[in-house]
Structure 1
């Protein structure tokens, strides 16, 4: 059995670089990818590490291989693959649910190797329906013009792009957004690109608020650690209020700033134990749009890639550190302390 290195959560709070995860078997319709980079998600990855992710949210049990923001290159194809070629670049090379040697995957991108599948060939050959293919809507090609580190941001950017579409932002809308991390800033940027007229962002980290102004052209920022949010907003009302933090308390606070008929939007993944909202506390005549998980992110990825190639979106605006994957402890410390906007792990030097 040939094995590879991967980043695994052995139990709640215990993260290690391990070297005994089997290199995945690809099968007739699969393609083996060598991973080059993977982003660290401050939401999903940290939720898994902290033991806050449920089975319904994709957690299959410890020990589990992290990562859903990987970018890799096809190095071998199965005998019935005809729509994927060696050298093709893919977002999120995956692992099988049973990764082998006792490991599960959630979501398996932080490994030296991963798998993509010739889904089109499987459907054409009658093996399964489009909805039944492995990794359904969980893989996507990207062009060589986008480098590996930037590609590690493609999924997050597309998640935020799809959220702007799903939330239904319209030209002229006034938006209040909680959270100026990479996801919040990306969502703000795509809302602006889709026509939002006025954008106010709330956070407590000055550097992140400044980055939101630079990248998303935010019109106003509120530092809730230094300013009274209610006093700053006053009697203003917004068309959309968005929680990009992932806390029900944020949703309840933000709801009071909605106009009649406005929409309260949740992008952040609510943690286990924070899954109920007292609806009686919400204002009358508003809509609640829950987006605990991305929807349509792979469908809109080509449009996201086009924005990047046109120079309208720069992935480098959304990460601050690149570290060898062996330095996962340092990467997690940077994420936890908010000293990093986002960390991208480099898998190139460690590949065998």
Structure 2
């Protein structure tokens, strides 16, 4: 099968023929992967070796892919042939010659029937991480499926942070996660949603629900205080720079991890007493809410992907589109025979 293969960090990225690994358990389904999206954050960090943990190169890239079930293992009960399943990818090479950066940019992969494993009394450690494998209903276009990953995890984070009716929210960043936080906040009834970002992206952020937009080079234009602040960038000083805009009792959530181990926070920059959110998110818990959101028009795929469609052979063009900031999440047609 064809796959996007990363030889070394900061090294060669290519389309390579690799041997499809066999399914690992009787609870696994083989899937054909029709679509995936490139995550400028995680995928970009893998390509340039900037994650705060080590990745096992060489590897097959991709963590925002959906798969169409083409066969099921003998113990599978909750997936059937034809189901579209979120958050799939290939497993690592059977001979150990290559690993995965979640493996979503491969023509074939697997999903695991974690519900059946749970029902059969298997240890939670064997199935808990596969709760991300959930069925996307037929009325949701397959092209939208890759966005479930970003939307599920950011909605979980949004709700756990306490954003809801009347919240005054400040978002740092204008990438895919920031756009998701805007759409969620509007859906949950936030009173103000102000974004600090690149001037070129103001239009799509306003369309998704931002009530205010400030160029990151003009922070002096911000005169208000906010109940909640989400830093989707995580640069060394990106959270520190917005401390003056925290209301007393505010919560700061640092979602980005660009400079995770070098973050600066200088309390003298604010007179507010505030909390740093140290919780996380649970991506699977919001799956049904994202389905409902697509059905209600709360999320439009093209806000993230635009109208362009790339293939594995034009993957470098998609990376260039990210580098030029033309697209937020390029959509990749991974397996042209899958639907």
| TM-score calculated relative to the size of structure 2 | 0.92
Corresponding residue to 1:312 among 298, 302, 309 = 298
Residue 264 (structure 1) aligns with: 252
Quick check: 1:178 aligned with 2:168?
A: no
Q: C-alpha distance in 2, partners of 1:153/1:200?
A: 23
Residue 162 (str. 1) matches residue 150 (str. 2): no
- Name the CA distance, whole Å, in 1 between partners of 2:304 and 2:207: 11
Q: Which moved more, 1:252-261 or 1:305-314?
A: 305-314
For residues 221 and 175 of structure 1, do their structure 2 counterparts lie closer, same or farther at Cα, with a shift above 3 Å needed?
same
Contact 1:47–1:271 (8 Å) recurs in 2: no
CA contact (8 A) 1:203 1:222 kept: yes
**Structure with the larger strand share:** 1
Matched residue SS, 1:298: helix
Which residues in structure 2 correspond to 1:217-236 (within 5 Å)?
218-225=210-217, 228-230=218-220, 232-234=221-223, 236=224
Q: Distance in 2 between matches of 1:243 and 1:28?
A: 42
Which runs of 5 or more structure 1 residues have no equivalent in the other structure?
A: none
Residue 42 of structure 1 and its aligned partner are, at CA, apart by 0.7
- For residues 281-320 of structure 1, the C-alpha deviation after alignment (integer angstroms, 9 at most, x for no partner) is 56451111246xx611211011111111122322232212
What is the aligned partner in structure 2 of residue 241 from structure 1? Answer: 229
Report the Cα distance in structure 1 between the residues aligned to 2:19 and 2:159, rounded to whole angstroms. Answer: 38
Q: Which runs of 5+ in 2 are unaligned?
A: none
**Which deviations, in whole Å up to 9, do the C-alpha atoms of 1:168-226 show, x marking residues without a partner?**
113112111111222211101111211210121111232x111111122x11111234x
The CA distance in 2 between the partners of 1:202 and 1:277, in whole Å, is 18
RMSD: 2.1
Aligned equivalents of 1:98 and 1:246: distance in 2? 33
Distance 2:80 2:195 in 1: 43
Q: 2:214 and 2:94 mapped to 1: Cα distance?
A: 45
Deviation at 1:131, TM superposition (A): 4.0
Partner of residue 206, structure 2: 213
- Tell me how many residue pairs correspond in the alignment: 335
Please tell me whether the aligned partners of residues 6 and 59 of structure 2 are also in contact (alpha carbons under 8 angstroms): yes
Deviation at 1:26, TM superposition (A): 4.4
Match of 1:250 in 2: 238
* Structure 1 CA distance for aligned equivalents of residues 206 and 26 of structure 2: 49
Per-residue deviation at 1:280?
4.9
Q: CA deviation at 1:28?
A: 1.3
Deviates more, 1:146-155 or 1:29-38: 146-155
Within the candidate set 53, 56, 62, 1:61 is matched to 56
Contact 1:323 1:345 (8 Å CA) reproduced: yes
Partner of 1:121: 116
Q: Which runs of 4+ in 1 moved over 4 A?
A: 97-101, 278-282
Partner of 2:49: 51
1:318 is paired with a residue whose SS is helix
Which residue of structure 1 lines up, in the alignment, with residue 289 of structure 2? 303
